[in-house]
Structure 1
Amino acid sequence: YATGTIVRTYTQGQVIPVVVDVTANHRGYFEFRICPNNNPSVEASQTCLNEHPLYSADGSVFQHYIDTNLGEHTIDLRLPADVSCTQCVLQWRYVSGNNWGVCEDGTGAVGCGPQEEFRACADVAITRTGESVSI
C-alpha cells in the first residue's frame, strides 16, 4: 500500500464485499478501518485509521468473529457516508484467539490476554455520492 496504486474506487456510504482467504485459522476476529490519507508518499497513521472503523452493512458489528473453517470469508462492510478521498488506506486487522493467556478474572485460558495480530492494507479511493470518476 501507499504506492499510489488505487486498487478499487467506491462511493461514500457504499456497501462493499471484503473477502479474506484464511489459510491458517487462528480463531479470533477481523477488524477493518479506513483513513483518508490523500498522499501515498506519507504513511497513514494508526490514529487516522482508528478514527474511521468500518462496520458491517447493517451497522451492528465491528469485530467480525470467524468460524473454524479455512478458505474465503466474505464480509459486507459499509463505507462511511462522510469520507471521500483520492487515496484512502483500507486496513484489515486479524486478532487471533488461539494463544494461552491470563483472563480478566485471573485464570488462564486460550484466547485470554494479548494475542498475535496480522495486518494488511490497500489503497482505495472513495468518491462523493453522485460524483463521476475519470478512468
Structure 2
Amino acid sequence: MVRFLLYSSLMYFVTLMPGVESHGGLVSPRSRNEVANAEGTTGAKQGVPPKEYCWHCLNRNSGVCGKGEANDYDKWLDSTGVPMPWKPQATYQRGQIITVETEITAHHWGHIELRACPKGRQSTQACLDSYPLEFVQDVDYGLPQDPNYPERGYLAGRHLAYTMKFRLPSNLVGSQVLLQVRCKVCSLFPFEFDLSHKLLNLPDPLLPSTKTVALHYVQLVSYIGILTKNLCSIYVHTLMSSSLVL
C-alpha cells in the first residue's frame, strides 16, 4: 500500500506592500514552525530546531518555505547548525482526502492553496506547482468549491480557525514529500473579483439618467476588479512546507 507521511512545515502569509501583513499557520498537520514553537530549544541540541516564539510570523520567504524570527526554513538546519532529520507528521494514501486545520491571527481575507513535491529538501516551486491539491470542503463555514479555481480554499469571514478538506494528487508518490501551503490575501476587499464581470439586465436603449449610473457602475466594478486582482497577485506567498514519506 502506498502511504504518505506528512512532514512538518510552514504555512504563512506575506505581503509586498508596507503595513499589510497576514499572520497564520498550519495547526494540523503541524507545520515546521509550529513544531519549532512547541518543541524548539533556546540552546543547542542535535535534531531539535531553534525555538520559534512567534510561530505565526512567517511574513517572508527566500525559497519555497517561510522565514520567521528565529528560522529560515529553507535552510533545514537544527539548533546546532546541522541538517534537521526528516520528521513526518501524518500518514496518507495517494489520492486521499485530508483534513487541514489553520489559524489566521491577523486576517486579510483571500484563500489558501496546497501543493506538494516528492523531492523532499530539494523541492522546487516548479515541482510543487506540478502537484496541486484539490479543495473539497469547507468543514466549518460551508463555502463551496470555486469551479474556476478548484485548488482554492476561500477564507470565510474573519475567523481564527479554519478546517478544510483537500484531495491529494493520485500520482503523488515519494519517500519524502514536501507539502506547501500558499496564502493569497486581498487586503483591501473581503472578496475577489472576476474581471469578466459585465453590467447585465439594463434597459436598452438606456435612459439618459440611467446611462450615467450604468457607466459609473461599470467603472467602479472594473476599477475594483483590476485593483483587487493585482493586489491578490502581489500577495501570493509560499509560506508553508510539509512532507510525505512513502
Instruction: Decide which moves more: 24-33 or 103-112.
Output: 103-112
Secondary structure of the corresponding residue to residue 52 of structure 1: coil
Residue 88 (structure 2) pairs with residue 6 (structure 1): yes
Q: Residue 25 of structure 1: which of 107, 113, 116 is its match?
A: 107
Q: Does the CA-based 8 Å contact 1:99-1:112 persist in structure 2?
A: no
Q: CA deviation at 1:122?
A: 1.3
Residue 213 (structure 2) pairs with residue 111 (structure 1): no
| Partners of 2:231 and 2:188 in 1: CA distance | 8
Structure showing the higher helix proportion among its residues: 2
Q: CA deviation at 1:124?
A: 2.2
Residue 244 (structure 2) pairs with residue 124 (structure 1): yes
Q: Over aligned residues, Cα RMSD in angstroms?
A: 2.6
Equivalent residue number for residue 98 of structure 1: 187
Alignment of 1:69-84 (within 5 A): 69-84=158-173
Q: CA deviation at 1:108?
A: 4.7
| Partners of 1:35 and 1:63 in 2: CA distance | 18
Task: State the structure with more CA Rg.
Answer: 2
| Partners of 1:56 and 1:65 in 2: CA distance | 9
In the alignment, residue 187 of structure 2 is paired with which amino acid? N
Show structure 2 runs of 5+ residues with no match.
1-8, 10-75, 77-83, 138-144, 196-218
Structure showing the higher strand proportion among its residues: 1
Q: Does the CA-based 8 Å contact 2:179-2:242 persist in structure 1?
A: yes
Per-residue CA distance 1:15-52 (angstroms, 9 max, x = gap): 11011111111111111101111x43x3x100000001
Q: CA deviation at 1:72?
A: 1.4
Secondary structure of the corresponding residue to residue 92 of structure 2: strand
Q: Residue 88 of structure 1: which of 160, 177, 186 is its match?
A: 177
Equivalent residue number for residue 79 of structure 2: none
Question: Which of 1 and 2 has higher RCO (CA within 8 Å, sep 6+)?
Answer: 1
CA distance 1:80–1:112, shift in 2 (3 Å)? closer
Q: CA deviation at 1:63?
A: 1.2
- TM-score where L is the length of structure 2: 0.43
Q: Percent identity?
A: 23
Q: Does the CA-based 8 Å contact 1:27-1:98 persist in structure 2?
A: yes
Q: Does the CA-based 8 Å contact 1:54-1:77 persist in structure 2?
A: yes
Show structure 1 runs of 5+ residues with no match.
128-135
| Partners of 2:100 and 2:124 in 1: CA distance | 22
Aligned length: 121
In the alignment, residue 104 of structure 2 is paired with which amino acid? V
